Structure 1
C-alpha cells in the first residue's frame, strides 16, 4: 500500500510543481480537507483545494523540493509525514499584501492522509513570520487580510 501511496504523492508533487490544476486535483479525494496551521485557513473539498493552490501559485509561483535531509515517514495508520522547501517569488497579492517581487524560500512540514486510494488532504505547518519577513511584511496582522 505504501508503494501505491508514494506513487500518488509523487504524481501529486509533479502536477503541483508544474501548476497543472486538473492533474493536482485528480490526486485528491472529493471530500479532501486542507488545513494551513500558520494562517488558520481551512479549505474543504476539491473546490477548496483549488482555492488553496491558486492562492499560493498566484502569489508566489511556488515549487516544492526535497533535500537529502527531508525524509518522509509513514505512520502506523498509513498517513505520511513529510518535510521540504517551497521556493518562489512574491508576484501576486498574498493575505492582502501586495506583490514585492522578492524571492521566498521556506521549509514546511506536512501531514497527508489517504482515503479511497486518493489523498484525503493535508495539514501543514511552516514559519509564517519568516515568510512575511522575506516579503518585508513582518508587521502584517490577520485583520489586514479581511
Structure 2
C-alpha cells in the first residue's frame, strides 16, 4: 500500500472508533488480525468476536473528542502513528471508574498491513497519564 492508502485506511479506522462504530472499526482489520492493547489483561486477541468485545468495552469506557496525529512513520507494509487522544471517561477504564472526567493521553499505534487491511494493531497508551487523571 502507498502512504496515502495507509492514511485513508487508518482515517477510516479512527473515524469508526470516534463514532463508536464497532462494525466499521473491525471491518478495517483482516479476519485473522492480531489486536494487542499493551497492558490489557486480555492480552493479544486474534478472534474477531473477542476483538469486537474489546472495542465495545473501550467504547463504553471512553468518548473521544479529539485525536491528533503528532507524527507518522511508514514502512513497506506498516506504519507507526504517534497521537494525542482527548475525550472523557464516562465508564470504567483500566479498572477505574471514569466519572465522566476529561482525559488526555498519548497513544501509539503500530499497524501492519496486508491485503488492504490492518493485520496487526499494536496499541500503546500512556497509562501513567491515564491513571493520574482518573485517580486525581
| TM-score normalised per structure 2 | 0.85
SS of 2:40's equivalent? coil
Aligned to 2:6: 5
The runs of 5 or more residues in structure 2 that have no matched partner are none
Structure 1: which 5+ runs fail to align? Answer: 138-146
- Supply the distance in 1 between the matched residues of 2:56 and 2:27 (Cα, whole angstroms): 15
Supply the distance in 2 between the matched residues of 1:99 and 1:134 (Cα, whole angstroms): 9
Return structure 1 stretches of 4+ with deviation > 4 angstroms.
Answer: none
1:58 and 2:66 equivalent? no
Q: Please tell me whether Structure 1 or Structure 2 has the larger radius of gyration of its CA atoms.
A: 1
Residue by residue over 1:98-138, the C-alpha shift from the partner in whole angstroms, topping out at 9 and shown as x without a partner, is 2322110101111001122211121122221220110117x
Q: Say if 2:86 is the partner of 1:87.
A: yes
Q: Between Structure 1 and Structure 2, which shows a larger proportion of strand residues?
A: 2
1:63 CA drift (Å): 4.8
2:97–2:134 contact (8 Å) kept in structure 1: no
For each residue in 1:56-106, what CA deviation from the matched residue of structure 2 results, as whole angstroms up to 9, or x when unmatched?
Answer: 211112355125xx121112x420011112222121122332232211010
Confirm whether residue 104 of structure 1 aligns to residue 103 of structure 2: yes
Aligned residues: 134
Give the Cα separation in 1 of the matches to 2:110 and 2:5. 17
